[in-house]
Amino acid sequence: MTATASLKYDLHCHTTCSDGSLSPLELIQRAAEQGVDVLSITDHDTALAYQQLESTNQLPLKIIPGIEFSTVWRKINIHIVGLNIQPQSDALKIGVTHQHQARKERAERIAEKLTGYGFNDALDRTSKIAGNDNIGRPHFAQYLVEIGAVSNIKQAFKKFLGSGKPCDIKQLWADLPQTIEWILDAGGTPVLAHPAKYKLTRTKLLAFLDDFIAAGGQGMEVVSGKQIPSVTRDLASICRQKNLYASCGSDFHQPGQDWAELGQYSTFPADCEPVWDHW
């Protein structure tokens, strides 16, 4: 897939700085091997990857600094990607600090919930899996798989960690206007991540986008990984209807997930205005 006549963009992926399995340099190398020309690392609530890349003199592709913030809208956990940000800006540092504390408290609350199911070492073991203090639900899911509580990651979310499940803690994140303000003040473009993954009705998605735009939101991912053509067509139609910029990305986390491989997402719709034309 080529997002333009000459360049392939992947503007959503993750490294070991959040819940990905590859280091920033490993991810960049894999992206280059997959034919990606322009990449944005959008780790959850952190821009640490860009600090790790500061001493690297030459990279095989162009990097657009990014981040993925968690927020809540009508008690629904929503992710907002900030693209073309200034990683060292004061606004972003404030946002990262706030979210870091929220993430830390959320991890403690999830571990406390899991203790009620007899999993007494959840926080300690999950911290070791994460390898840093940016602990996310996928790390807890991996812990549950490792101890044999569930058979796979999907089951961990279905039984314990998914939206509305017993160990889903979401009320700690900054609200939508604050999240968007951090991105804008950091010079970035706020983009709604993977709209189809929230399982919102069309009415709710449109209502969210109205609030998103009112708060300064500017774009949405019309393509996230490999998705069926009807979903892409519908999201593209909404994107045009709301006069939003369109973005695309794999949402890559680790090798072996064909539906979210770097650069291998569904075809970008030609009738949407790409977010990169805005920069």
> For every one of its 279 residues, what pLDDT tens digit does the chain have, with 9 covering 90 and above?
334 448 999 999 999 999 999 999 999 999 999 999 999 999 999 999 999 998 888 899 999 999 999 999 998 989 999 999 999 999 999 999 999 999 889 899 999 999 999 999 999 999 898 887 778 888 999 999 999 999 999 999 999 998 889 998 877 899 999 999 999 999 999 999 999 999 999 999 999 999 999 999 999 999 999 999 999 999 999 999 999 999 999 999 999 999 999 999 999 999 999 999 999
Phi, psi of 246 (to 5 degrees): -100, 140
- Give the neighbor-by-neighbor strand order of the sheet with 189-192: 66-73, 76-83, 189-192, 219-224, 245-249
Residues 74, 82: Cα–Cα separation, whole Å: 21
Which fold, 9-96+175-278? TIM Barrel (3.20.20)
Which is nearest to 139 in space by CA: 107, 113, 114, 98?
107
198: which 2 tokens? Answer: 């929230």
Domain range list for the chain: 9-96+175-278, 101-161
CATH class held by domain 101-161: mainly alpha
Tell me if residue 10 falls in helix, strand or coil. Answer: strand
pTM of the model: 0.86
Same CATH fold assignment for domains 9-96+175-278 and 101-161: no
